[in-house]
A and B are shown apart, each in its own frame.
Chain A
Amino acid sequence: MIYNVLTMIGLALITLSLPLNAEMKPLTDSALDNISGQGGVYLTGEFTINKNPGPLWATTGDRNCGSASDPKVCGLRFAVSVDGGGSEWYVLDDVSGGMAFEGLTLRTEFVAQDEEGNDFNKEVLKVGLPGKVKMTDYKFTFAFSNQGAWSDDAGFRQTDIFGIQQDGDITLKGNLIMFPTE
């Protein structure tokens, strides 16, 4: 299950980056003259997880995340083991919904001095947060379980602690700056 999730995330990332890689060609000297070395990447994105019935548990008779009268397909399940892959799992379950943003920027910047005037001399990665993130029926459940993958085995146990459901705009402003430290 975990592999499925990781593969899906990997595929999503590759898909996102494909248009950027398309047709890369060497620049001529004259073209290079026009490049100032600033700028960065401006990303607009939307991703949807299992919003319109996803690939998991899609057939009748499989796991039902709705009620008996109103059956619903389950969202993504992300499980983390705290005992090296044994029987102790922290779970983000039934993750589904959409998240859309416009204007996430990626830049690098050279910082010569820190705020206190000391030498810093590092290239930093600056992620400009998009300002607004639109959530569409986004939800997840936080749970503990004795198995990583969901199962209808008699021995399968899971305790749902709480769930979150979100719809509407979230304000997310500012810059996330990352750099290596000693």
Chain B
Amino acid sequence: MKQILLLCCLSVVFFQSYADLKPLDDAQLGAATGEGLGLVLDDFVFNVDDAVTTLTGIENSQGEDVVVKWTDFYIMGEGSNKGSNETPVDIGTFAHPWTISAIPGSDISSVNDSLAVFQVAAENYTDPLNNTEDYAGWAYFQEQHCRTSGVCSSDPNNAVSAIDAQISSMTLERDAISGKYGNNLTGLNNSITSDINNQIKPQQTVVANEQDDIEPAYNTMDYYWDRLGSGARNDTDGFGTKSDGICAFWEDCAYKSEYNNAVDNYNAQVSQFNDAQRELAPRWNEVKWNNVSLKERLTDLEQYESLCGDVGSTGGGCSDGAIVIRQAQRSKVVDVALGIGSGLTRRGGIDIGSKFEFDVYDSTTGTTRTDYLDIDLSGVTLDGSYIRLWGSNGDLDGEINLKLFADSLSIATCGPACSAAQVQASTLTGTNVFLNLALGYGKAQPLKFSVTPDGQFEAELPKLTYSNHQDFYQNAPKTSVFIGNVNLGGNNDLGGLTIDGMQFNYLKVNSHDL
């Protein structure tokens, strides 16, 4: 036991000191079996409210220091009422501890290499009620039911009704498209391919050829314009117009007819190009199959594929796409609803909050005023989150996956002098907030930490390459944000917020001196 602890401590110290993780050889890898150190914080309370904490190093536009007082920072148990009741919290349990471990990269599908990977991971839960991602899905639909139907009871099956309503609306949409084409989705797909090949592409070639003719015609016109005699030039309205006056014998009339011919030819080429384009545009509407235009068929096919997956690979079934994803999610929502319905409760979360005071110089009045910022999260769970770090050619690479769910998030800007009503009026509250932030995906797109030669911070998610793009799009974790309901000032419900399935193709974050 002592040896294991000592080893873990040493590995942490060395990691922090040099962070130079190197590939392990096979013999060394044999020894790395993924064992680690389990961590549990039992009856934990952290609070800095009896201390004076000041943030320094922040300057205003005049280069003067802005005094930022960090007047409160607490980590307590759910029910602490924004840190005012000292409520202890258990972070991790013996059955579900946080872990610090060195795991072989070959055990992680995204890394899949003989690297030693250092990992700090929050607890893991598989039951849907305690699994943050699953529970957040239920909470989102529970809130959606309240918003869309106005029925906001605590019945856990409201979420099931909401997701069922969504699945049924998607199914109706799918059936409408399918019915419009006699359930022949493959025929629809083929008709589009064939019409594009036979009607659109040949005309696109004509347009492209006509466009190619314009440039030489323009160059010829330009060539003779440069050589056009001054007398003939005086008879034009400028470049591109013909010299149509009578050029007297004492005037310089060189290249007049060549220039006029070139202008005629240029105008003819432009007109042919316009005609070809005018012919192309209506074909999208006029080329029909089953009496439906090509344009409309294309829109329908895209909609069908977003609901049911690529017709070419599913054969017109519905084995992929949004409906299948929602149906899979539905089973999790049902599990959570069943759990709550049978009287099971979710474990208590963590309350985290901070208060700041900024002394800001107001240059218009010449006085200093104090601004307040108060951020509180209640009922936070983090299970399933992890951070992984490994060395790669002397660089520090990593993956961060944060899954944070909070029953509520409140941001207030009114200071201690405000009345309760004023505080409420200036408070932004989000309920059922879920942030799933995924940065970095194994060796395909590691999150790279570095410092520039002039001492600035830099973090980068490198561009994808052709060889790894498919793996990335199919398997890389996606970032999403859900907020069940946003409320401003107590009475104004602003509705929900959803950002779903976001992936970063490229990201670079730099610090700069101002």
**Residues on A facing B (Cβ under 8 Å):** 2, 6, 80-90, 108, 111, 114-116, 118, 120, 123-125, 129, 135, 141, 143-146, 157-182
Which of A159, A163, A182 interacts with B511 by CB under 8 Å?
A159
Contact A173:B45 (CB < 8 A) given known A87-B453, A159-B457: yes
Binary contact track B27-67/A, C-beta < 8 Å → 1, others 0: 00000001111111111111111111111111000000000
**B37 touching A181, Cβ below 8 Å:** yes
CB within 8 Å of A: which B457-514 residues = 457, 511, 513
**B449 cross-chain contacts in A, Cβ below 8 A:** 82, 90
**A2 cross-chain contacts in B, Cβ below 8 A:** 17
**B56 touching A163, Cβ below 8 Å:** yes
Jot down 12 A-B pairs with beta carbons below 8 A, ordered by A. A6-B17, A83-B395, A162-B57, A168-B48, A169-B50, A170-B46, A171-B47, A176-B40, A176-B42, A177-B42, A178-B5, A179-B94
**A166 touching B51, Cβ below 8 Å:** yes
**B50 touching A80, Cβ below 8 Å:** no
4 tightest A-B CB contacts, nearest first = A168-B51, A157-B455, A174-B44, A88-B451
**B45 cross-chain contacts in A, Cβ below 8 A:** 171-174
How many A-B contacts if CB must be within 8 Å? 177
Asked if B450 lies at the interface with its beta carbon under 8 angstroms from chain A, I say yes
Asked if B97 lies at the interface with its beta carbon under 8 angstroms from chain A, I say yes
**B452 cross-chain contacts in A, Cβ below 8 A:** 146
**A177 cross-chain contacts in B, Cβ below 8 A:** 39-42, 94
Query: Chain A residue with minimal CB distance to B54?
Result: A165
A163 to B53 Cα, complex, angstroms? 10
A123 to B93 Cα, complex, angstroms? 15
Q: How far is the CB of B89 from chain A (nearest CB, A)?
A: 8
**A163 touching B55, Cβ below 8 Å:** yes
**B50 touching A83, Cβ below 8 Å:** no
**Residues on B facing A (Cβ under 8 Å):** 1, 4-5, 13, 16-20, 34-58, 70, 86, 88, 93-95, 97, 99, 101, 391, 394-396, 449-457, 511, 513
**B391 cross-chain contacts in A, Cβ below 8 A:** 84
**B5 cross-chain contacts in A, Cβ below 8 A:** 125, 178
**A175 touching B511, Cβ below 8 Å:** no
Which of B16, B18, B35, B511 interacts with A181 by CB under 8 Å?
B35
Q: How far is the CB of A106 from chain B (nearest CB, A)?
A: 11
Which of A80, A111, A145 interacts with B16 by CB under 8 Å?
A80
**B101 touching A181, Cβ below 8 Å:** yes
A90 to B48 Cα, complex, angstroms? 26
Which of B18, B20, B39, B93 interacts with A115 by CB under 8 Å?
B93
Which of B20, B40, B88 interacts with A84 by CB under 8 Å?
B20
**A170 cross-chain contacts in B, Cβ below 8 A:** 46-48, 50-51
**B43 cross-chain contacts in A, Cβ below 8 A:** 173-175
**A143 cross-chain contacts in B, Cβ below 8 A:** 455
Query: Chain A residue with minimal CB distance to B43?
Result: A174
Contact A174:B41 (CB < 8 A) given known A141-B57, A144-B451: yes
Contact A81:B18 (CB < 8 A) given known A163-B56, A165-B56, A182-B35: yes
A157 to B50 Cα, complex, angstroms? 37
Query: Chain A residue with minimal CB distance to B69?
Result: A165
**A114 touching B42, Cβ below 8 Å:** no
**B49 cross-chain contacts in A, Cβ below 8 A:** 171
Which of B4, B51, B55 interacts with A162 by CB under 8 Å?
B55
Q: How far is the CB of B41 from chain A (nearest CB, A)?
A: 6
**B51 touching A169, Cβ below 8 Å:** yes
**B38 cross-chain contacts in A, Cβ below 8 A:** 178-181
**A135 touching B93, Cβ below 8 Å:** no
Contact A160:B95 (CB < 8 A) given known A82-B396, A84-B20, A175-B41: no
Which of A120, A157, A162 interacts with B454 by CB under 8 Å?
A157
**B50 cross-chain contacts in A, Cβ below 8 A:** 168-171
**B58 cross-chain contacts in A, Cβ below 8 A:** 162
Query: Chain A residue with minimal CB distance to B397?
Result: A82
**B40 cross-chain contacts in A, Cβ below 8 A:** 175-178
A175 to B50 Cα, complex, angstroms? 21
**B451 cross-chain contacts in A, Cβ below 8 A:** 82-83, 87-90, 144-146
**B95 cross-chain contacts in A, Cβ below 8 A:** 114-116, 118, 120
**B54 cross-chain contacts in A, Cβ below 8 A:** 164-166
Which of A81, A159, A165, A173 interacts with B455 by CB under 8 Å?
A159
Query: Chain A residue with minimal CB distance to B448?
Result: A82
Q: How far is the CB of B336 from chain A (nearest CB, A)?
A: 19
**B47 cross-chain contacts in A, Cβ below 8 A:** 170-171
**B455 touching A146, Cβ below 8 Å:** yes
Contact A167:B51 (CB < 8 A) given known A87-B451, A157-B453: yes
Q: How far is the CB of B332 from chain A (nearest CB, A)?
A: 21
Most buried by B among A141, A144, A168: A144
**B48 cross-chain contacts in A, Cβ below 8 A:** 166, 168, 170-171
Q: How far is the CB of A169 from chain B (nearest CB, A)?
A: 4
Query: Chain A residue with minimal CB distance to B50?
Result: A169
A6 to B10 Cα, complex, angstroms? 12
**B46 touching A88, Cβ below 8 Å:** no
Which of B42, B101, B396 interacts with A83 by CB under 8 Å?
B396
**A180 touching B55, Cβ below 8 Å:** no
Q: How far is the CB of B226 from chain A (nearest CB, A)?
A: 55
A108 to B101 Cα, complex, angstroms? 21
Query: Chain B residue with minimal CB distance to A82?
Result: B396
Contact A165:B46 (CB < 8 A) given known A80-B16, A88-B451, A159-B457: no
